[in-house]
Amino acid sequence: MAQDHLAASSPLPEHARLSALAGEWDGEEMVFPSRWTAGGPATSRTVARMDLNGFYLIQDSVQMRDGKQVFATHGIFTYDRDDRTYKLFWYDSLGYTPPSPASGGWVGNTLTLVRGSLRGNARHVYEIINEDSYSLKIQFSPDAEGWADVLTGVYRRIH
C-alpha cells in the first residue's frame, strides 16, 4: 500500500500531455440550434493552466454573442491512472451538475471524452492542430449513437 501512495506523488507523461491545451486562447465558434439556444456564430476566450502539481488542466471559458456574455464553462481535465482514461469534470452556466465526469482518451492528436446523464450524452472532441491552435466539437446524443453538433470552434493561442 505504501508503494502505491509513493508512486502517486508525481504526474505521469499522460498528465503532461494535457498541457497542449494550456494557455490563453481566442476562439471562433458556431453554436448549433438546440433546446438551449437559437444558435449562431460566437467568440470565446479560454484560459487554461496546468495546476495542482501538474495533475490537472484547469480551463475557464467565456462565450460572447452580439457583444454579451451568453455562456461560461469551467473544466477540470486529468488522467486517471486507475482506469487509464482521461477525465473531464465539466461545469457550465446552464447550472446542471454532471453525475460523473466525461471519460475517454487520445487517438493521435485527438482527445475524445464522453459522458452520460439523464438528459442524454455529451461528447467533447479536442483536436490539436498545432502548438498554436486546436479545434473543439461538442456533440449531443440521446442514445450515444447518433451524434448532433452543439458547438464547433477553432481556438488560437494568444501570444
Residue 97 falls inside a structural domain: yes
Residue 89 falls inside a structural domain: yes
pLDDT digits (tens, 9 = 90+) for 5-54: 555 579 999 999 999 999 999 999 999 998 778 889 999 999 999 999 99
Enclosing domain of residue 127: 13-157
pLDDT at position 7: 54
Residue 61 falls inside a structural domain: yes
DSSP letter (8 states) at residue 105: E
pLDDT of 84 above 70: yes
Residue 83 falls inside a structural domain: yes
CATH of the domain at 34: 2.40.128.20
Residue 30 falls inside a structural domain: yes
Q: How many domains does the chain have?
A: 1
pLDDT digits (tens, 9 = 90+) for 105-132: 999 999 999 998 777 889 999 999 999 9
Residue 45 falls inside a structural domain: yes
pLDDT at position 6: 53
pLDDT of 61 above 50: yes
Residue 3 falls inside a structural domain: no
